[in-house]
């Protein structure tokens, strides 16, 4: 196992402490949006009779939770690498750092909004973009290009 420089080892330790704080925050966090607001969002988004099964109003909270959980895990991995416990070359460290920044930016984007309705719509936009990027198609459409035109 390679020895790392003391500055990187200290940085790695601090990153792991921060990752633990993120994960502890998530472990004890509860949604702050009331059922009444959730129902209103479902009505405004015309979720109709499927609102109870689809749960579209929960999308913002679930998206934020998932993004923060993933970011916390990636931070922990980066800290482990910097502490020298896992040897790695610069490209994996750069890719992991980029992923951390992208997930953090998506979390900030999905959380910023004047109301729970805005946050839910932003979370839906992120989910849709992610599905398009991985090549998911709407049923009955032959290509992603048709999927983009149909939306």
Cα angle at 80 between 94 and 104, to 5 degrees? 50
Cα angle at 64 between 27 and 122, to 5 degrees? 165
Q: Which residues contact 118 (CB under 8 A, 6 or more apart)?
A: none
Q: Give pLDDT tens digits for 64-78.
A: 888 999 999 999 999
Q: What is the pLDDT of residue 51?
A: 52
Query: Residue 107 pLDDT > 70, yes or no?
Result: yes
Quick one: pLDDT band at residue 35, thresholds 50, 70, 90? Answer: confident
Q: Which residues contact 112 (CB under 8 A, 6 or more apart)?
A: 119, 122
Q: Give pLDDT tens digits for 121-137.
A: 888 888 888 888 877 76
What's the rounded mean pLDDT across residues 33-43? 77
Q: What is the pLDDT of residue 75?
A: 92
Would you say the pTM of this structure is higher than 0.85? no
Query: Residue 101 pLDDT > 90, yes or no?
Result: yes
Quick one: pLDDT band at residue 26, thresholds 50, 70, 90? Answer: confident
The C-alpha atoms of residue 43 and residue 60 are separated, in whole angstroms, by: 16
Q: What is the pLDDT of residue 1?
A: 41
């Amino acid at each position: 196992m390679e020895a790392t420089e003391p500055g990187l080892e200290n940085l790695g330790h601090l990153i792991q402490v921060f990752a633990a704080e993120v994960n502890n925050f998530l472990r004890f966090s509860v949604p702050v949006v009331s059922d009444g607001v959730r129902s209103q969002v479902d009505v405004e988004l015309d979720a109709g009779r499927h609102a109870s099964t689809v749960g579209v109003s929960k999308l913002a909270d679930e998206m934020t939770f998932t993004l923060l959980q993933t970011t916390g895990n990636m931070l922990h991995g980066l800290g482990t690498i910097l502490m020298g416990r896992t040897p790695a070359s610069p490209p994996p460290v750069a890719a992991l750092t980029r992923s951390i920044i992208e997930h953090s930016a998506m979390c900030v984007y999905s959380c910023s909004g004047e109301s729970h309705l805005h946050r839910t719509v932003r979370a839906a936009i992120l989910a849709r973009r992610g599905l398009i990027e991985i090549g998911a198609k709407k049923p009955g459409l032959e290509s992603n290009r048709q999927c983009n035109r149909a939306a």
